Amino acid sequence: MTRPFRHLYSLAVVLALTLGTAWAADETMRVMTPRDLARVQSMSAAKISPDGSLIAAVRSVPRELFEEDDGENWEELYLIDVATGVARPFVTGEVNVKSVDWQPGSSAVSFLAKRGEDEHVNLYLISATGGEARPIVSVKTTIAGYDWCDDGQRIAMIAEKPKSEEEEELEEHGFTQKVFEEDERPLRVWIAEIGGVEEPRSLDLEGSAVQVRWSPDGERLAVAISPRPLVDDRLMYQSVHVVNVVTGEIEMTVDREGKLGRIEWSPDGGRLAMISGADLHDPSASSLLVESAAGGSPKNLTQGFEGSVTSFAWLNDEALLFLADVGVVTELYRVTVGRGSLESLERFDGGVVYTAMSLAADGHHAALIGNSSSHPGEVFVLDLEDQLPPARVTEANPWLARIRLAPQEVVVHTARDGLELQGILIRPLDGSTALPAPLVMVVHGGPEGHRRDGWLDRYSSPAQVLAARGYAVFFPNYRGSTGRGVEFSKLGQADAAGAEFDDLVDAVDHLVEIGVADNDRVGVTGGSYGGYATAWLATRYSERFAAGVMFVGISNKISKFGTTDIPMEETLVHALGYPWERWEHFFERSPLTHAERGRTPLLIMGGDADPRVSPTQSLEMYRVLKTFDNVPVRLVRYPDEGHGNRRAASRYDYQLRLLRWFDHYLKGPGGEPPTYRLDYRNPENGWEAEAWD
């Protein structure tokens, strides 16, 4: 089924983006509902043109439940005029636009997409003046990434080598077997000339390409390569090389280890800057490194910085601008390569946190993606010369203006060992007289992640929906979280479920002490490592938690190693050792070990195609709890979903089940679980019909 009245939808979006919330002033205010959350849109990417006049932005649009075929969000392309703030739809509808960029020397936007009769993801170009997007190059296989040469005529791409006719014929006859971790097809670097008659040529580089960047002179490439096209290799073992474009020879290799983020050349081509781990055991790529293109040792420009670099750009040959998470907020810094000292340019006010930055060639204008407690991702424009806060230029969800949102605040508390910790608290809507309230604690995954003081609502953490129903919701940044420097992010290493999860109990104690949380009505949820925390707290600390919702979580630390696609990441940056080196420790830190004492009703959910945390982890937790039969437990599996749900129906089902589980055990009768059936059009337990307007 296709989206109805698509042309009218596009017109409505343009009006929403340009007119903002003016139309909503007379609408009746109401609370957030599950259906509202399921239709929240966001601006997910923004790339400013070299002259700073236009922004190519990607808008993420959820599928319309019961109206469209189920699937992941659509990703649409819009062009925003910086001077007027007017946004125009360029590629919309049933599309998935990725990797938006500007063709150098032109006013045309390039992007990756699979459209029409395409068999694979292809590279498209569309003029900023309008017209139809057209494919400009193809390597007869999916293009995973690309980068323009400054001449605007050559492009470097990352893609697999196309299958041979013999391979395709064998597959047609049913020979589709997979040899685990051996027959993966490495990604190659391809060079193509736009409009040229020659086929794209590939460079003969050992390994699997992950990222490619042209040097300003067009003679070299910076290429990030992993040994194999496996997730674990990409996470832990990428190497960065400077490669001669003509010969394909490696001229220099950067002397670094650990996780890797974006790479960029300096304007003169003399240096490479990159977001990287500080060392092999750094849990995240969050340091800014600079290396001479001639070789040597890279310089860590953010050594000792108590924050995490998320985005950067060269201002000139000697200075860089970077965006960083600092605790629960974001800040903008300038750093000079020679001095290495950081200059704080902006502590963003207005309650907005920023997650991405794109700088124009003039070095004065930047496009940012920002969110706040009142809205998800939107596009902002920053003028670095006028010293004013970034100006918001999009309004993806004008209807949010008529939603009453609960207050949100930063909470600072002290762990039992004296460590100061931060978290984000959303108080119950209109609940100041109803405190202490039932509490739902939402634990982030990773653990190399953290919560910013921005938009926190997701299908798996429907915070404002919970707050509207009288809950307090808390998002803790426990030790091991990012945003507070490398040292802080390493505090949980080799101590899984130790002090890091004690921090969670200490957070609950603090919220009880200040009168926000009802000690007898505390729930916990989280995904991945947050799911691990949920399983741990529902067993080891079961007496403290009245309900839990575990999502793609870990239950057995020993079997997890042998069933995940990131065993070396687990070993090098978390456990700092193999299970067989500390059998007893891995066993003791597994929720299964404490399952017999579990009295916390536990709802377990996850995809049945998860390569990161095997579905067997959920099954083990379910089977052991079911065998002891001391507590209600339910297992829900989502077909073909991986490490997190992507399809609209799976997300909505998850949200409804989480809400009902907490309602039943934190506010309702408890006892036996509620029925497993859901009425999706008219959800039970007070989810109002107005959600379906």
Number of domain units in the chain: 2
Query: Could you tell me the strand order of the sheet in which 42-48 lies?
Result: 42-48, 54-61, 74-81, 87-91
Give the tens place of pLDDT for each residue, 65-86.
Answer: 999 999 999 999 999 999 988 9
Confidence of residue 684 (pLDDT cuts 50, 70, 90): low
Give the tens place of pLDDT for each residue, 597-647.
Answer: 999 999 999 999 999 999 999 999 999 999 999 999 999 999 999 999 999
CB 553 within 8 A of CB 526: yes
Q: Are residues 514 and 647 in the same domain?
A: yes
Give the pLDDT of residue 432.
Answer: 63
Torsion sign, CA atoms 449, 452, 458, 462: positive
| Three-state SS sequence of 445-487 | CCCCCCCCCCCCCECCECHHHHHHCCCEEEEEECCCCCCCCHH
Pairing of strands 108-113, 437-443: unpaired
Mean pLDDT computed over every residue of the chain: 92
pLDDT at 216 over 60: yes
pLDDT at 3 over 70: no
Q: Are residues 281 and 344 in the same domain?
A: yes
Calpha distance 378→355 (Å, rounded): 10
Calpha distance 483→373 (Å, rounded): 18
Q: Are residues 350 and 411 in the same domain?
A: no
- Could you tell me the two tokens for 321? 């601008």
pLDDT at 144 over 90: yes
Confidence of residue 196 (pLDDT cuts 50, 70, 90): confident
Give the pLDDT of residue 247.
Answer: 94
pLDDT at 20 over 50: no
Q: Which helix (H) or strand (E) holds 372?
A: strand 365-372
Range with the poorest average pLDDT among 21-25, 104-108, 164-168, 557-561: 21-25
Last residue of some domain: 292, 327, 354?
354
Q: Are residues 431 and 350 in the same domain?
A: no
The CATH number for 232's domain is 2.120.10.30
Q: Are residues 171 and 296 in the same domain?
A: yes
Q: Are residues 349 and 430 in the same domain?
A: no
Give the tens place of pLDDT for each residue, 287-322.
Answer: 999 999 998 899 999 999 999 999 999 999 999 999
Q: Are residues 170 and 256 in the same domain?
A: yes
The predicted model gives 389-417 an average pLDDT of 96
Which one has a higher pLDDT value, 343 or 411? 411
Range with the poorest average pLDDT among 9-13, 134-138, 524-528: 9-13
Do the domain assignments include residue 619?
A: yes
Do the domain assignments include residue 585?
A: yes
Last residue of some domain: 338, 354, 370?
354
pLDDT at 11 over 50: no
pLDDT more than 70, % of the chain? 94
Give the pLDDT of residue 27.
Answer: 54
The predicted model gives 505-519 an average pLDDT of 98
Calpha distance 30→401 (Å, rounded): 10
Q: Which of 306, 336, 337 is nearest to 324 (CA)?
A: 306
Confidence of residue 347 (pLDDT cuts 50, 70, 90): low
Q: Are residues 66 and 130 in the same domain?
A: yes
Do the domain assignments include residue 664?
A: yes
Terminal Cα distance for the chain, rounded: 20
Give the pLDDT of residue 112.
Answer: 97
- Could you tell me the two tokens for 375? 């809205």
Do the domain assignments include residue 292?
A: yes
The CATH number for 594's domain is 3.40.50.1820
Q: Are residues 336 and 227 in the same domain?
A: yes
Last residue of some domain: 354, 389, 418?
354
Q: Are residues 343 and 416 in the same domain?
A: no
Which amino acid type is present at position 230? L
Do the domain assignments include residue 303?
A: yes
Q: Are residues 453 and 349 in the same domain?
A: no
Please tell me the pTM assigned to this model: 0.93
Distances in Å between the alpha carbon of 256 and those of 275, 302, 318, 480, 658? 11, 15, 21, 23, 43
Which one has a higher pLDDT value, 434 or 617? 617
Do the domain assignments include residue 655?
A: yes
Give the pLDDT of residue 2.
Answer: 37
Domain with 604 in it:
406-684
Which amino acid type is present at position 503? D
Do the domain assignments include residue 293?
A: yes
Do the domain assignments include residue 384?
A: no
Q: Are residues 303 and 181 in the same domain?
A: yes
Give the pLDDT of residue 388.
Answer: 83
- 260 forms beta bridges with 276
